[in-house]
Structure 1
Amino acid sequence: MPRYIKVASAAPSPHSARYSHAVEANGFLFITGQLPVDPADPDAPLPSTIRAQADVVFRNLILIAEASGYSLSDTVFARIYLSHFDEDYEGFNQVYHWHFDDDARMPGRTTVGVATLGRNARVEIDLTLARRG
């Protein structure tokens, strides 16, 4: 039976689309794509650099994973969307590899260049995590 998770401290802006922050099913947690939006001030301007935006996205992902009973280290697959792919790929990877630094447990990954993201963000990430054991 799926568990639909909404994390109060990660609530989207009131004018956002409706969604669960994550859905758990059969030992997997699927975290909805996260933008670099500060949940404490969702209407604030987004950070201007890819590194700063990626930091905010990872804070949101960690918040949702931990509130769901998982850890970022449980990630088995990451899907990354970059709206300025050529310009931001290297800078994004610096932040990504800080969070996923164990070469023996590197999640699968797809990185896609897209024309635009919500709020004109430079990055959006969704994750699939697996329950250990």
Structure 2
Amino acid sequence: MNDLIHHMISSGPRPVAPFSHAVEAGGFVFITGQMPTDPAAPEAPLPEGIEAQTRRVIDNLKVVLGGVGLSLGDVTMARIYLTHFERDYAALNALWPSFFEPGKLPARTTVGVTALAVGALVEIDLVARRG
């Protein structure tokens, strides 16, 4: 029996590749990496700078999480991809705690990559848990 549930969130960001916004399995929800695109204007230029792009990515992740009845408080793990790791890592770290309740940060891995879709500086994917 297949207990996977595949979600496409109608108000979510337009996918930049073929994927589901989220897939549920065994109480966990795996959120596809989101880009700093504007769901209301997918062709609009990306925000400038790591802080603005990170905020947009988090906003997009909130839309997907909300679409499956979850929030950032349900996130257990985050993976962050940066195209300019050495330049942007400290700024990301300074901003990151502001998205979560104090003392309740998810586990996290951050890696430097050579490029991301749509020319983004940052992409973030999440694992969340129901209950």
TM-score of the two chains, using structure 2 as the length reference: 0.93
Cross-structure match for 1:55: 55
Higher percent of residues as helix: 1
Cross-structure match for 2:19: 19
- Aligned to 1:43, the other structure's residue is in SS state coil
Cross-structure match for 2:127: 128
Task: Give the Cα–Cα distance (whole angstroms) in 1 for the partners of residues 82 and 13 of structure 2.
Answer: 23
Structure 1 residues 88 and 101: alpha-carbon distance in aligned structure 2, compared to 1, 3 A threshold: farther
Cross-structure match for 2:109: 110
Cross-structure match for 1:9: 11
Task: Give the Cα–Cα distance (whole angstroms) in 2 for the partners of residues 20 and 118 of structure 1.
Answer: 16
Alignment gaps of 5+ in structure 1: none
Instruction: Within 5 Å, give how 1:65-80 maps onto structure 2.
Output: 65-80=65-80
Structure 1 residue 106: deviation in Å? 1.9
Matched AA of 1:2:
L
How large is the RMSD of aligned CA atoms in angstroms?
1.1
TM-score of the two chains, using structure 1 as the length reference: 0.92
Task: Give the Cα–Cα distance (whole angstroms) in 2 for the partners of residues 36 and 17 of structure 1.
Answer: 14
Aligned identity (percent) is: 47
Matched AA of 2:7:
I
How many residues align? The count is: 129
Mapped pair 1:32 → 2:32: yes
Which has the larger displacement, 92-101 or 2-11? Answer: 92-101
Task: Give the Cα–Cα distance (whole angstroms) in 1 for the partners of residues 91 and 120 of structure 2.
Answer: 15
